[in-house]
């Protein structure tokens, strides 16, 4: 038998369960920051085209620059040759040993510490150069994954997918994963701001669906 608490919990989440689904690639105000939009013009930015009903860049070719092994970004100075080992950061105090929320909830069924849970307008914020370089690396990864999903769908026909044992349902799952990558890139771009890395050209060696 359902208790009053269980009924209250079910009613609390019911609006989210039965609400109409949001449009794909639509992100609310919680993902926005004040930043200049990225430019999509210039010879180094791929123009998106539609092939086989899917979007992909117009060109996938080899890299012509000079890659480095230690990274091209350097700070104004380097303060030491190495970093000494220190004890844990004393400000990192949260550790959950209970398996349930341990802090007061700002609203019913709302764990403390989440995005916008203190009533203020949320804003993503990086705290150091390490944060920026780490998130930028993640964005490069998400860009290539997004392009790879779209390129595979645009490069091969539905008949070629079928010949590899992958029907239209599998193709829709690949497109779904591409939509997820759109969400990830939006998140990371909002964290980095107007200087977030842009999508570039990529060269994939595969020539078949299975590859």
CA 144 to chain centre: 12
pLDDT at 208: 92
pLDDT at 72: 62
With 0-12 / 13-18 / 19 or more C-beta atoms within 10 angstroms meaning exposed / middle / buried, residue 71 is exposed
Q: What percent of the chain has pLDDT over 90?
A: 16
Report angle CA 189, 194, 199 to the nearest 5 degrees: 55
Alpha helices in 86-167 (DSSP H): 129-155, 158-163
Predicted TM-score (pTM) of the model is 0.57
pLDDT digits (tens, 9 = 90+) for 23-64: 333 444 444 444 444 444 444 555 667 777 777 777 777 777
pLDDT at 123: 64
Residue 54's CB is within 10 A of a number of other CB atoms, namely 19
Handedness of CA 202, 204, 208, 211 (dihedral sign): negative
Domain boundaries, the chain: 27-61+127-202
CA 7 to chain centre: 35
In angstroms, the CA 47 to CA 39 distance is 12
Per-residue confidence at 69, pLDDT binned at 50, 70, 90?
Answer: low
CA nearest 43: which of 55, 23, 61? 61
Paired tokens of 63: 């890299």
In angstroms, the CA 40 to CA 45 distance is 6
pLDDT digits (tens, 9 = 90+) for 158-178: 999 999 999 999 999 999 998
Per-residue confidence at 187, pLDDT binned at 50, 70, 90?
Answer: confident
Paired tokens of 198: 């842009």
């Amino acid at each position: 038998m359902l208790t009053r608490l269980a009924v209250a919990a079910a009613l609390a989440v019911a609006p989210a369960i039965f609400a109409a689904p949001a449009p794909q690639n639509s992100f609310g105000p919680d993902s926005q920051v004040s930043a200049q939009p990225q430019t999509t013009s210039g010879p180094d930015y791929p123009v998106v085209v539609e092939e086989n009903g899917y979007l992909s860049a117009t060109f996938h070719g080899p890299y012509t620059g000079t890659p480095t092994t230690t990274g091209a970004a350097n700070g104004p100075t380097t303060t030491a040759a190495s970093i000494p080992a220190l004890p844990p950061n004393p400000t990192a105090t949260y550790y959950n040993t209970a398996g349930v929320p341990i802090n007061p909830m700002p609203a019913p069924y709302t764990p403390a510490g989440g995005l916008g849970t203190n009533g203020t307008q949320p804003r993503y914020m990086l705290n150091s150069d390490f944060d920026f370089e780490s998130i930028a690396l993640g964005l490069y990864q998400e860009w290539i994954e997004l392009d790879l999903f779209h390129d595979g769908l645009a490069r091969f026909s539905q008949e070629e997918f079928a010949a590899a044992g992958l029907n239209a349902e599998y193709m829709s799952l690949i497109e779904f994963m591409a939509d997820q990558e759109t969400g990830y890139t939006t998140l990371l771009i909002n964290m980095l701001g107007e200087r977030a890395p842009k999508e570039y050209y990529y060269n994939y060696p595969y020539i078949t669906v299975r590859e």
